[in-house]
Amino acid sequence: MPETDSSASATQPVHAASAHPAHLGWRLFAMVYDFFPALALWIAASAVMLLARGGEPVVPGSLLSWLELAVLWAVTGGYVVLSWRRGGQTLGMRPWRLKVLGADGRRPAPRALVLRYAVATVSLLALGLGYLWCLVDRERRAWHDLASGTVLVRLDAAPR
């Protein structure tokens, strides 16, 4: 079996015939799946933070509680951005054949992926309006796709 060069394939654009813009349902399915690896990361990060403060509880609304939320957001962002950068997919996106690409069909720059994650957070905090935007956009782009110059596509199934 011939070996493939994954670095070369990362720079090759995905052909339009093999990918279509992902609709909202596929995005939501992937988010549900991605909740579980994120939860595992939150538990691990929370355990480290709990040990770091000697088992003392955090006062709700305190600066420390906000800092810990920021750490959890950053840990989640690390998982998502590194997954997108490595292969264009998180674990939750793989079963649904979803992939993040640049508007040119190539792998997006790291800066675009960080921006995508940040704006996706705003999209969720705005009661999901940023995600619902893909229902009115002709190319099914959400706010974070538009802001970062990326697109979420659903790849066609591989021939059997």
- The pLDDT tens digits for 55-112 are 999 999 999 999 999 999 999 999 999 999 999 999 999 999 999 999 999 999 999 9
Residue-range definition of the domain harbouring residue 65: 20-155
pTM summary value: 0.87
Burial status of residue 60 (CB atoms within 10 A of its CB: 0-12, 13-18, 19 or more): exposed
- Whether 8 maps to a domain, the answer reads no
Q: What's at 103, amino acid-wise?
A: A
Query: What's the domain count of the chain?
Result: 1
pLDDT at 49 over 60: yes
In the beta sheet, which residues pair with residue 98?
A: 154
- Whether 151 maps to a domain, the answer reads yes
Tell me the pairing of strands 19-21 and 98-102: unpaired
- Whether 9 maps to a domain, the answer reads no
- Coil vs helix vs strand at 5: coil
Q: Cα(39)–Cα(57) distance, rounded to whole angstroms?
A: 20
Provide the pLDDT for residue 15: 55
Are 147 and 116 a contacting pair, CB within 8 Å?
Answer: yes
Provide the pLDDT for residue 29: 98
